[in-house]
Amino acid sequence: MAKVIVNDIEVDADPKDNCILAARKAGVEIPHYCWHESLSVVASCRMCLVEVGERKPDGTIVMGPKLVPGCQTPIREGTVIRTDTPKVKTTQAMTLELLLLNHPLDCSICDQAGECYLQDYTYKFGNAHSRLDEPKIQRMDKYHIGEQIALFTDRCVMCTRCVRFTREISGTAELQVVARGSHEEIDVFPEVPCDNKLAGNVVDLCPVGALCSKDFLYKKRVWWLKHSDSVCTGCSTGCSIQVDQNEDKVYRLRPRENPLAQGHFMCDEGRFGFKYIHDERRLKLPRISAAFSKAPSAKPPNGKPTGTADLDFSDPWSESMSMARSKIKEAIKNDAHGFVAVLSPFMTVEEAYLLAGYLKEIDKRIRLVLGPVPVDGVDDQYPKGPKGQPPAQDKVKFTIRAEKCPNRLGVEAILRHFEGQVRHLDDVILKADATAFYVVGGCSQGWVTESIDRGIGKPALLIVQDIFPSPLSDRADFVLPSASFAERDGTYVNYAGLAQAAHGAIRCPGDARADGRILMELSERKGLFNAMALRKEIGRTVPTLATLSVGELGDHGVKIATTAPEPIHS
């Protein structure tokens, strides 16, 4: 640790820190555009100029004669940083005036307005007006930068964060600076758009409104978005994300910095892959098959007497819940070994625990199996080499994993606790001795393959808890519409055993319910579903998940003590 004095505040900073990080530890903000924690340093925007000096061993302070860029200046014991002198303040205002010389000031139609560093820094450090009398240089917008990316050229401040990202993180190097001086622009080579699998990150990296996501363009002003911390369920990397929603509609996902999980970024597959949660085909109403329904023809449709207003306040779940409960008990009584519960790797730890605990309490002999784990190709590692080859193992900066589910390890830990081993659905299908199934889905794509469909067949009791209709849900005795990742609270354990808490952002569509709530009601536990209370309980009862007993997992999550990850079951 090195002692650093920032504006007379003495702090302990890491000797590897630069002035910006050291000042941040003292609670002092040094404005910057081009510097980013995970990218190389270019010191080109000149926004972070500060006065730096040194405290001599005898206590005298000697300041340097010139301003230095804070991003490029390392610290050491006794470094003195000043950001509040007139010299620094004038320079900051002058730099901003320069950056805004040709800026069109079209904040009213710019998607970045509200989270724009030009706005924020001008408000905090800049002048209220520009002295430029000449007409501003106008440049053409470039909608050809990428399939998902548009460049509003005249808003750019040439920080080159996006260029460095494609060179250093994705390794694809599509973006570059063309021309010189005041003609500088970001551009791509003709016919080579920026369409790599990490391309969406340049939109987040852009500190101004130059690079915009075409997917989000003009959809919502950012000050109306409400943010919830969540976890991407696209693959087993488990990127920390922020779900931005307004009025129960998710508009975008953004990566949340998490050094334990993925760093600063996320892949486009996860970023734009959330659209299925608003799909019209989602299961929205609990359904009981005609064979099980109490009096299917006695009631008019929807159970309403004719002539009343078109309002039905009855709970569509009450009948299916009580009936499902009694049918499960009946099926277990008839053939306990033949009752199979399929736990999907898309479930949270809490949900898996609730379902497994409930069924095992009725009869120890019932079987719990892990549902199909979707695997797509091999792990995709970045930065790519010049020919698209993956990097050396110690140079990997981002990995899109082949295992396309968020919580295999967490569900396996629960299975091991209740079952002693991890059995897979295929084993049960091979034996063909199951008479009743409780199947949990939750996957965005159709996970019911033909072999699963045929293997499950038509058992005596089939309960399907899923978000999309499938051949199984079509012939299920009970269909329980459940929630997507954005609609539920819970814990996911990623490939490395990092348990992260996800928080629900929106409500379920129609009469669908979060899986946790369904299972709380099914198992007749007292109270409402509360992820934190359940985590504490799981921590107490499941030894391998003992670290969950802290309850609050924080922004970065906690590591759980897992055995070495098993190879993916194919």
Partner 1 sequence: MTTTKKTKTVKWGDEPKLGWVEAMYLPAIVSGVATALKHAFSGKTTTRQYPEVEPTIPPNYRGVHRLNRDEAGRVKCVACYMCQTACPANCIEIIAAPAPKDDPKWKDRDKYPETFTIDELRCIYCGMCEEACPVDAIELTSIYDLTGLTRQEMIYDKEKLLSVYDQTVNSGNDPIRTNRGALGPASLEAPTAKQGPPPPGQGRHG
Residues near partner 1 (CB under 8 A) are 106, 108-109, 141, 152, 217-219, 221, 223-224
Minimum CB distance to partner 1 smaller for 189 or for 224: 224
Give least dist CB 304 to partner 1, A: 27
- Specify whether the CB–CB gap between 472 and 456 falls below 8 A: yes
| DSSP-based three-state secondary structure for 230 | strand
Minimum CB distance to partner 1 smaller for 138 or for 393: 138
CA distance 132 to 63: 34
| Angle (deg, nearest 10), helices 349-362 and 531-541 | 60
Give least dist CB 72 to partner 1, A: 36
Minimum CB distance to partner 1 smaller for 17 or for 185: 185
Give least dist CB 141 to partner 1, A: 7
Q: Tokens at residue 250, please?
A: 């998710």
Give least dist CB 108 to partner 1, A: 3
Give least dist CB 102 to partner 1, A: 17
Residues forming beta bridges with residue 250, ordered by sequence position: 245
Minimum CB distance to partner 1 smaller for 72 or for 246: 246
Give least dist CB 218 to partner 1, A: 4
Minimum CB distance to partner 1 smaller for 150 or for 332: 150
Sheet with 240-246: strands ordered across: 226-231, 240-246, 249-255
Query: What count of Cα atoms within 13 Å lies in the side-chain half-sphere of residue 408?
Result: 24
CA distance 23 to 170: 30
CA distance 449 to 464: 15
3-state DSSP: the chain helix, strand, coil percent, rounded to 5? 30, 20, 50
Q: Tokens at residue 162, please?
A: 């996006």
Give least dist CB 109 to partner 1, A: 4
CA distance 162 to 152: 14
Minimum CB distance to partner 1 smaller for 52 or for 116: 116
Measure the N-to-C terminal CA separation of the chain; round to a whole number of Å: 48
How many CB atoms are located within 10 Å of the residue 555 CB? 12
Give least dist CB 122 to partner 1, A: 16
Residues 6+ apart with CB under 8 A from 134: none
Phi, psi of 357 (to 5 degrees): -60, -40
Minimum CB distance to partner 1 smaller for 114 or for 455: 114
Minimum CB distance to partner 1 smaller for 156 or for 545: 156
